[in-house]
Structure 1
Amino acid sequence: MDRTFNKTEKLKSKILISKLFTEGESVSAYPLRLVYLETSFNSSHKLKVGVSVSKRHFKKAVDRNHIKRLLREAYRLNKATYFNNIETQYAFMILYIGKQGTTFDEVNLKTQHLFKKFLTKVTS
């Protein structure tokens, strides 16, 4: 798995996103929450990922966009390490549920914890 985050890997389907939140399961590593759903799509990629930051806690779009950039970068750097050997296709939504801003180091560390929790829950 390469270390890019292409357009084909992004979760954009409104139908799949609504299905993800109604039928999906989740794991948390505060201030992050991962909602996932085993699914199938036409793409050759194993994962489709979206990120979201609450408008309630971060009123300014600049702040929300900054955290979303941090989330996408942490995913991009860690996906090859954690998801190289998975066989099934998943749809992911990574949510930032914290109330204060954050740094990349914290987001990266919590993303790693989140992916470890996901893998233990799925493989067990």
Structure 2
Amino acid sequence: MSFTFNKKEKLKSKKLIEQLFAEGKSVSAYPLRLVFLPTTFETNIPAQTGVSVSKRHFKLAVDRNRIKRLMREVYRLNKASYFNNLSQPYAFMILYIGKDKPEYVKLEKRMTLLFEKFRSQVSEK
């Protein structure tokens, strides 16, 4: 798996996003929350991922966009270690639920913890 985050890997389907929030399970590692749902895709990719930041906590679009850029970058650089052993494809939505602006290093640590929790919850099944 390469260090890219191309169009095929981005979660864009409105139906799938609605299904994800209706039927999906979640894990949290404050200030991040991961909602996931096992699914199938036409292409052979292990996961489709979307990121979101609350407008309630960050009124300015520049702040929301910066946080989303940081989250995508952390995901892009570490996704190979997260998803090498997935047995089936998943749809993910990573939500930033904190109230303060994050730093890259702290966000990276929390996302690593978040995906460790995800991996342990999936392996329990």
TM bracket, shorter-chain basis: over 0.9
Q: How far is the alpha carbon of 1:87 from its aligned partner?
A: 2.0
TM-score (norm. length: structure 2): 0.98
Q: Secondary structure at the match of 2:92?
A: strand
Distance (whole Å) between structure 2 residues aligned to residue 43 and residue 96 of structure 1: 28
Q: How far is the alpha carbon of 1:43 from its aligned partner?
A: 1.5
Distance (whole Å) between structure 1 residues aligned to residue 50 and residue 56 of structure 2: 19
Root-mean-square deviation (Å): 0.5
Partner of 1:49: 49
Moved more, 40-49 or 7-16: 40-49
Letter in 2 for 1:78: N
Aligned-pair identity (%): 61
Distance (whole Å) between structure 1 residues aligned to residue 80 and residue 66 of structure 2: 23
TM-score (norm. length: structure 1): 0.98
Partner of 1:66: 66
Partner of 2:87: 87
Letter in 2 for 1:32: L
Q: Secondary structure at the match of 2:27?
A: strand
Letter in 2 for 1:12: K
2:36 equivalent to 1:36: yes
Partner of 2:24: 24
Distance (whole Å) between structure 2 residues aligned to residue 43 and residue 13 of structure 1: 14
Gaps of at least 5 residues in structure 2 are: none
Letter in 1 for 2:11: L
Gaps of at least 5 residues in structure 1 are: none
2:93 equivalent to 1:96: no
Letter in 1 for 2:10: K
